[in-house]
Amino acid sequence: MSDIYIGDKVFCCNGCKLVYELLSAKDLCAYYALSQKPGISPQEAGISTKYEYLDDPQVILQLRDFSDGKISKVTFKTPSMHCSSCIWLLENLYKVNSGIISSQVNFLRKEVSITYQEGKVTLRAVVELLVSIGYEPEINLASLQQKIYSESNKDLYIKIGIAGFAFGNIMLFSLPDYLAVDGTLSSDFKKFFGYLNILLALPVFFYSSMDYLKSAMNGLKQKSINMDVPISLGIITLFMRSLYDILSSTGSGFMDSFAGLVFFLLIGKLFQKKTYESLSFERDYRSYFPVSVMRIHEVREKAVSIEDLAINDRIIIRNQELVPADAVLIKGKGMIDYSFVTGESEPVEKNSGDMLYAGGKQIGSAIELEIIKDVSQSYLTQLWNNETFSKSSESRMTSLANKISKYFTLIVIAIASLSAIYWLLTDIYLALNAFTAVLIVACPCALALSTPFTLGNTLRIFGRNNFYLKNASVVERLAKIDTIVFDKTGTLTQSWDTKIQFVSTAADGMKLTAQEKNQIKSLVRHSTHPLSQYIFMELEGSGDLSLQHFQEFPGEGITGTVDGDKIKIGSQNFIAHKVQPEALPFTRVHVSIANKYKGYFKIVNTYRKDLGKVIESLQKQYDLALLSGDNISEKKNLGKYFKYENKLHFNQTPFDKLNYIKHLKDSGKQVVMIGDGLNDAGALKQSDVGISISEDINAFSPASDGILDAKKFGRLPDFFAFSKKSVKVIIISFIISFLYNIIGLSIAAQGTLSPLIAAILMPISSVSVIIFTSGVTSGIARRMGLL
Amino acid sequence: MSAIFILITASLLVAIGFLIAFLWAVKSGQFEDKYTPSVRIFFDDKKTSSENVDDKESKEN
């Protein structure tokens, strides 16, 4: 990122640089003159046609949040915003274009909502303005099919607010009764406070606790006892018994314990609900595909939305654009980069008549294609028709707490019944008293809180280490895994860090001079080919020498005249230099300057820095396997790291990967899949935990249970170990809450549970479990260096 | 002692007032974005927008 600078000032992003430019070039007041000329920064090549589809009324209709014909509102996700200057710039868009009325940023979601005047500015112009100032909005097939999905916690906040309010006030009104020794409190007061407590408890029962009651009902309907069954049992008994006690003036009830219970439970729910709003865990191919493509219809080109593409349509795919559906190449020379689909890192050369698969990216000149399959039936997208994707992932495993609660509920009901039967011999009232008291005390508040607080805290600690999980239950699943499957390209190798070495074959063994390096750099900067990009980044020099006669021959190389010397870079045939063919596991790019062969760049993918360490430590506890879409040439290198070479599989299609995981699971394994591309999407979904690795966590990642920042790859063993420890913490806190229950039950079964004891026991057990779980998980994290 | 009945009722009403304020705050979306407003407050909004109006007016003249 450090390459964004003016003079000696370094900026964190283009937005900051732009703000600085605006403020320094003109003083603030003169800045508004800019509204006359919206194109601030140099327009990127190709931008003029790229957003043509935004003029399509159908597309506009799908993107807009709201419009009354005069004023429209639209919300975009702009992943590149990341500092306060970005907010400033995006919220001052109205100064740049007078057609924009206002814009508002939600930084955590990385969204900007723009209100603009229809007629004065078009949606396309708004988007092009955003692109020109460096905030390319994320518009893709998925954003059309579903509006930007924003789940809010509003309901939960309100429920907590009401429960907390009731809890505090009921506690206050109950205090006089607790403090009054041997009934000095007048019965008027008792009644008054009692009725106030009922009044306050009503919304808690009928609104705040509804989620638990409903969930318990659903559980019972499906003949399973989940965690919410004993909770609901406790809630209902507490409320009904208190209602009876107060109305019949036989006691002061347990309304404070009741409201407190619901309040603590809801707090736990909120704590567990930590989500990463700017990340998306549900992306599929639709998020990757563009919204529209150029279709040729009776000689004219027109942008059409991808959903409207039909078989036999002719389309044009330009440099860096995706092939949206399986098609046949008609015209032009294709260089298709399938890296995202297959994991194969080298672009493949295609000639007219060849078949192109959806998801490939064209590199080089524009090509003309004829569609032969629908978008949803194409090779890659078919993966999503697999049954794996229609299954809900949540039902795959019952959580530890749910498993325990089954036995817990049965035991509690047994104890309650036994004590009721025992007291039935002496007194019916006492029997009823004991029965309800057992249910009240045994309500697994502490039990229910230990899971959300432990997992919620673990989720946060992972998040702080740039490992983002979809939700808390993933932690539990992560703790149970025994098999780890890796993808190769982009997962074990790092795409950006490629080792480049210049090998000179000149007789005198001369290396390139600084001038020659600069000449090459000036040439390759004009090519978008990944290999050119690697070389550009590797070579030192300014790279801004003047270039003439630049020509790009897709699949062969590039040529041009820099500073008077003709330079050719590319394949062996292109340079027309004979060297002995060698079967080497790396790519070579040959160079000749002024018709003299200089040598070649040797380009090797490097593995992640900590790969050896990670594999070694994981190998001790887990079965490891590797699935690569790439060819077998790397097997030898990888064999150094992996203990079992027969677990390394190459030339795997996306379906092979999915089936491999399925096979593992069928044999009873708990599998975690770690991958990065769309080609891993099936395997990620099929596995128990799918983790996608990403160099930039806001960039695309396929649907998964977790997103790991590639820089933290080395901590993978720690993450696995930590999730195991978290589950141990849950088990220990279960034991603690059982101890509380034993104390409570021994009192309750005697039929002598007073509201005061309940009011003390309930908060103490809850708070101590909360403190224990969050404290211990944080402590472990600190010891492991995760905090 | 009966004053206490009135006082407690009054205090409860005041508390309910705060509860309603909280519910309104949640409903109006104040908890939707807990970060951006903290940055936005530093932007010199008023000044620039009034200048903007002046600017436009002077252009129209």
Tell whether the model's pLDDT for residue A726 goes beyond 80: yes
Q: Which of A340-344, A367-371, A414-418, A577-581 has the lowest mean pLDDT?
A: A577-581
Q: Which of A60-74, A566-580, B14-28 has the lowest mean pLDDT?
A: A566-580
The pLDDT score that the predictor gives to residue A108 is 81
Tell whether the model's pLDDT for residue A265 goes beyond 70: yes
Percent helix, strand, coil in chain B (nearest 5)?
75, 0, 25
Q: What is the mean pLDDT of residues A471-488?
A: 89
Q: Which residue of A has its CA nearest to B21?
A: A161
Give A732-774 pLDDT, tens digit per residue. 988 888 888 888 888 887 777 777 888 888 888 888 889 999 9
- Contacts of residue A161 in chain B, CB cutoff 8 Å? 19, 22-23, 26
Tell whether the model's pLDDT for residue B58 goes beyond 80: no
The pLDDT score that the predictor gives to residue A531 is 72
Q: What is the mean pLDDT of residues A405-422?
A: 88
The pLDDT score that the predictor gives to residue A660 is 92
Q: What is the mean pLDDT of chain A?
A: 80
- Is the CB of residue A157 less than 8 Å away from at least one CB of chain B? yes
Q: Which residues touch A468 (CB under 8 Å, ≥6 apart)?
A: A276, A279, A462, A697, A706, A707, A708
Tell whether the model's pLDDT for residue B51 goes beyond 60: no
Higher pLDDT: A405 or B15? It is B15
Higher pLDDT: A580 or A44? It is A580
Tell whether the model's pLDDT for residue A540 goes beyond 70: yes
The residues that bridge with A675 in the sheet, in sequence order, are: A692
Q: What is the mean pLDDT of residues A504-517?
A: 69
- Contacts of residue A196 in chain B, CB cutoff 8 Å? 8, 12
- Is the CB of residue B54 less than 8 Å away from at least one CB of chain A? no
Tell whether the model's pLDDT for residue A374 goes beyond 50: yes
Q: What is the mean pLDDT of residues A777-786?
A: 93
Q: What is the mean pLDDT of residues A16-26?
A: 65
Buried b (16+ CB within 10 A) or exposed e, A213-223: bebbeebeeee
Share of chain A above pLDDT 90, in %: 17
Tell whether the model's pLDDT for residue A395 goes beyond 50: no
Question: Which residue blocks in A465-538 are alpha helix, DSSP H?
Answer: 473-480, 514-524, 530-538
Give A119-136 pLDDT, tens digit per residue. 888 888 888 888 878 788
Q: Are strands A9-10 and A5-6 parallel, antiparallel or unpaired?
A: antiparallel
Q: How many CB atoms lie within 10 A of CB A742?
A: 11
The pLDDT score that the predictor gives to residue A276 is 72
Prediction pTM value = 0.77
Higher pLDDT: A527 or A786? It is A786
Tell whether the model's pLDDT for residue A613 goes beyond 80: yes
Higher pLDDT: A80 or A467? It is A467
Give A27-81 pLDDT, tens digit per residue. 443 333 443 333 334 444 445 567 777 887 777 887 888 888 888 888 888 877 7
Taking the CA of residue A476 and the nearest CA in chain B, the distance in Å comes to 29
- Give the closest of A107, A169, A173 to B35, CB-based: A107
Tell me how far apart the alpha carbons of residues A753 and A236 are, in angstroms, rounded to a whole number: 17
